[in-house]
Amino acid sequence: MSIENRLAKLRKGNNQTPLESAAVGLDIVTRIQRLRPVSVTGQSDLRTELGDSDVARLVEGRVLEPGVILIERKVDLTERHGRVALNLLRKVPLHTLPETLGHDPEQLLFLDTETTGLAGGTGTLAFLFGFARIIGDRLVCRQYLLTRFSGEESMLRVIPEWLGGISALVSFNGKSFDLPLMTARYRLMGLSDPFEALSHIDLLHPVRRTFSRQWDDCRLGTVETNLLGFRRQNDLPGSDAPRVWLNLIQHGDARLLPAVTQHNLWDLLSMVVLLPMLIEAHNRPADLGADVLSVARVHRRQGDDETALRLLSQYQSLLDDQGLLELARLLRRQNRWDEACLIWEQLAQQVNLEALVRLAKYYEHVRRDYETALDYASLLPVSREHDHRRQRLEQKMSRIREHRIGVIHLE
């Protein structure tokens, strides 16, 4: 392919990579300059002209320490992210969700990091720490941006200054990635881990529990589309963030850093509104497209059978076989046998094994109708347990027949 054809291909927007798309407006000469090899000293000529103050102006932050930039944004809680107002976090009952039980909104610190890679290990570091917490009537977001490797220790030292009054971290997939990475970096620097004593609420797990049977996947982007009503415009994918930062370190090119900090900010805001929306989904699951059975089981594990029964009864028409069986179990616990039997009989027509067993037990132990119990037991497959049940019922019926014959003889 000729150089002219290659340049023409680069100019076509539909052939751009996500990273190139974020750099729309750069002329071809500038792009070629970005691809020049690093000098012997490890820095390009452009890097020597770019200081922390220059990067700080670009990302609208300020130099906090050599190699560390602080970007702080304050958002009024009346603002919306997607279709959800930020102040919903203050309005919902946090005790509804097991993970947030015992915490107050002002005690939660939302966390998201951007790193030099996804593999983890000692060779990976977080070059951007994003935090958000409620202070007064605002959501305050702080992002600590590393501009050189030598600034990491300074960044790790200043972060704990903002953790006062915090009882729990909130992340999305942080248990598998963000927290282990942060712990490793603090240990490598010989510093105590300020996050070690905090509880950790990983929102990915309640999202999976609540929506995994309803959605194709539970990525944050899917959550934003399906639950939050938020669509990112001109977003730079998180997978491109390491390359952007390495461009800063190796070539002094910081022009795409604002796109990285914006991506990180959107992650934080999405988590802030996701938490109360998860609570809403546990209060009115069908309205938000949640899995009613999974939500009911959460309430049961918390000892709230009444709420579980109310939800399953309210949305009975939406339940599959497992949901109907769960509803019947709760009805049985309250001795509402007629309602439970209606469900079991419906499922027995589909040869549902648990329903057949429940009906056999009901007619044997509650109604003492051994003949009907045996009718249901006879539909069960061959097994030691089921064979024993059938034999026991036949023996009971035999004794009844013998008793009846004895009574007739006496008469």
What is the DSSP track for 280-298? HHHHSGGGGT--HHHHHHH
Would you say 23 and 258 are in contact if contact means Cβ atoms under 8 Å apart? no
pLDDT tens by residue, 319-349: 999 999 999 999 999 999 999 999 999 999 9
Q: CATH assignment of 320-410?
A: 1.25.40.10
pLDDT of residue 118: 63
47 pLDDT more than 90: no
3-class DSSP state of 76: strand
Tokens linked to 292: 């009613």
Within a 13 Å sphere around the CA of 228, how many CA atoms are in the beta-carbon half? Answer: 29
Same fold, 36-283 and 320-410: no
CA distance 93 to 326: 25
CA distance 144 to 265: 12
* pLDDT > 70: percent of the chain: 85
* Homologous superfamily (CATH) for 36-283: Ribonuclease H-like superfamily/Ribonuclease H (3.30.420.10)
Between the alpha carbon of residue 304 and those of residues 210, 307, 309, 377, 392, the distances in Å are: 17, 6, 9, 33, 37
Q: Mean per-residue pLDDT for 204-224?
A: 96
CA distance 271 to 132: 9
**Predicted TM-score of the model (pTM):** 0.82
pLDDT tens by residue, 294-307: 999 999 999 999 99
Tokens linked to 376: 């249901």
CA distance 103 to 141: 20
Select the more confidently predicted residue: 266 or 15: 266
Which residues are 84's β-sheet partners?
Answer: 81
How many helices (H) and strands (E) in the chain?
19, 9
Q: Residue type at 296?
A: A
Please identify which residue in the block is written with the tokens 């977001």: 141
* pLDDT > 90: percent of the chain: 79
Tokens linked to 121: 């290990």
Which residues, including other chains, have CB under 8 Å from residue 286's CB and lie 6 or more apart? 292, 314, 315, 318
Q: What residue ranges do the domains of the chain occupy?
A: 36-283, 320-410
234 pLDDT more than 50: yes
Strands 126-135, 138-146: pairing is antiparallel
Q: Residue type at 106?
A: E
